[in-house]
């Protein structure tokens, strides 16, 4: 970890930078860790050390305010994401989800730093001690004792995301002075979800398709993460629902579950080839039936909900599982409309 004490030199650098700055109007926001954070009234320099927040910022058309990003952004957002925000390729990378290079960060003179909810407390404290405003983003509401955990335990995950998702977008929009854009993004995503809800309203529990979400190294999503909720909303039965959070399972587990369908996130295409070719997978129902699907870019099966996953991803998954119920839906047209509205470029041009 690189967030340990870095010595007098960094402290003096932070103090000198603070003294050199003119007085600015300030305000207070509450982040998703429940912390009161004092930020400049007009934020113009943000560092984003969480890929979920970065993806939302791109959709809010606020990348001009971003001066640094997490070092894992290409892996987390996918190889093709840079086309949606070419500027990201040239930005400094002073840290990641759980680490920060404080010297590199201070050189960027950020007004705020966005971090994930499970960023180590020492990492957050080091940045705050250097005079930097730190904002935690989780996309869900959780009890104080759970809010900073990698896999928070909540009583009602549907409710936790129903409130935490719009709260996160509003918070990011507020900090970066994109309130109207934030409200537009929330409204569009939640409105589109209703199509899936209505068409699967009479789906019996016994009719749900058993589904496994494959990731590298046999990691998958269980209960308490948005991915499991995405599958349920799309009419799937998550075969890994008995585990909590994002965890590695065994091949024996997968064989026992014997899913009828396997989904793989777009950012991990090599997993599809592995499943189709490896002998250990060949007896599984999904593989035998040829129902192993690489998900499209917009169907972000991440631990946290993304606007396009609600607006498009749940619809794509539901149509894949129950094509007859969604035969009239043109997903290419839906995706193109979304991308033009929030990414300012067409989706079909690249696929």
Residue with tokens 């004490």: 5
Instruction: Give CA–CA dist 115/209, Å, rounded.
Output: 36
As a three-state string, the secondary structure of 65-89 is HEEEEECCHHHHHCCCHHHHCHHHH
Contact yes or no for 217/275 (Cβ under 8 A):
no
Integer Cα distance of 105 and 174 in angstroms: 23
**34: its two tokens:** 């429940």
**Distance of alpha carbon 180 from alpha carbon 175, whole angstroms:** 12
Strand order in the sheet with 236-238: 236-238, 209-214, 261-264, 292-294
Contacts of 192 by beta carbon, 8 Å cutoff, 6+ apart: 310, 311, 312, 315, 334
Q: Tell whether pTM > 0.85.
A: yes
**Residue-wise DSSP of 189-233:** HHHHHHHHHHHTTT--GGGSEEEEEE-GGGEEE-BTSHHHHHHHH
Distance CA 48, CA 320 (A): 34
CB 321 within 8 A of CB 234: yes
3-state secondary structure of 14: helix
Determine the Cα–Cα distance for residues 333 and 80; give it in Å rounded to an integer: 20
Taking CA 266 as the corner, what is the angle to CA 191 and CA 318, rounded to the nearest 5 degrees? 40
* pLDDT tens over the chain, length 351 residues: 444 445 555 555 555 555 555 556 899 999 999 999 999 999 999 999 999 999 999 999 999 999 999 999 999 998 889 999 999 999 999 999 999 999 999 999 999 999 999 999 999 999 999 999 999 999 999 999 999 998 898 899 899 999 999 999 999 999 999 999 999 999 999 998 889 999 999 999 999 999 999 999 999 999 988 999 999 999 999 999 999 889 999 999 999 999 999 999 998 999 999 999 999 999 999 999 999 999 999 999 998 999 999 999 999 999 999 999 999 999 999 999 999 999 999 887 555
For 124, the enclosing helix (H) or strand (E) is: helix 121-129
Domain annotation for the chain: domains and CATH numbers: 8-177 (3.40.50.1980), 201-350 (3.40.50.1980)
């Amino acid at each position: 970890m690189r967030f340990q004490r870095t010595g007098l030199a960094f402290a003096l650098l932070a103090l000198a930078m603070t003294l050199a700055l003119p007085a600015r109007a300030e305000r207070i926001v509450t982040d998703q860790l429940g912390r009161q954070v004092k930020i400049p009234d007009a934020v113009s320099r943000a560092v984003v050390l969480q890929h979920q927040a970065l993806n939302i910022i791109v959709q809010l058309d606020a990348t001009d305010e971003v001066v640094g990003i997490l070092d894992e952004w290409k892996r987390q957002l996918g190889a093709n994401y840079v086309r949606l925000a070419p500027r990201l390729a040239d930005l400094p990378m002073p840290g990641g989800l759980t680490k920060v290079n404080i010297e590199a960060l201070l050189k960027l003179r950020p007004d705020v730093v966005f971090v994930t909810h499970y960023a180590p407390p020492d990492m957050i404290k080091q940045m705050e001690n250097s005079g930097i405003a730190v904002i935690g983003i989780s996309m869900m509401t959780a009890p104080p004792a759970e809010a900073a955990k990698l896999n928070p335990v909540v009583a009602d995950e549907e409710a936790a995301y129903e409130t935490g998702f719009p709260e996160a977008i509003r918070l990011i929009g507020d900090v970066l002075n994109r309130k109207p854009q934030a409200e537009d993004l929330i409204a569009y995503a939640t409105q589109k979800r209703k199509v899936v809800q209505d068409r699967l309203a009479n789906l019996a529990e016994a009719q749900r398709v058993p589904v496994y979400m494959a990731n590298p190294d046999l990691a998958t999503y269980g209960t308490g993460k948005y991915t499991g909720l995405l599958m349920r909303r799309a009419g799937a039965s998550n075969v890994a629902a008995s585990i909590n959070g994002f965890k590695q399972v065994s091949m024996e587990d997968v064989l026992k579950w014997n899913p009828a369908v396997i989904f793989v996130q777009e950012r991990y295409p090599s997993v599809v080839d592995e499943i189709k070719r490896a002998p250990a997978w060949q007896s599984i129902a999904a593989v035998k039936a040829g129902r192993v699907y690489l998900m499209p870019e917009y169907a972000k099966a991440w631990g946290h909900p993304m606007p396009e996953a609600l607006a498009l991803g749940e619809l794509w998954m539901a149509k894949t599982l129950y094509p007859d119920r969604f035969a009239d839906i043109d997903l290419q047209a839906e995706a193109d409309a979304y991308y033009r509205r929030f990414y300012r470029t067409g989706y079909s041009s690249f696929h």
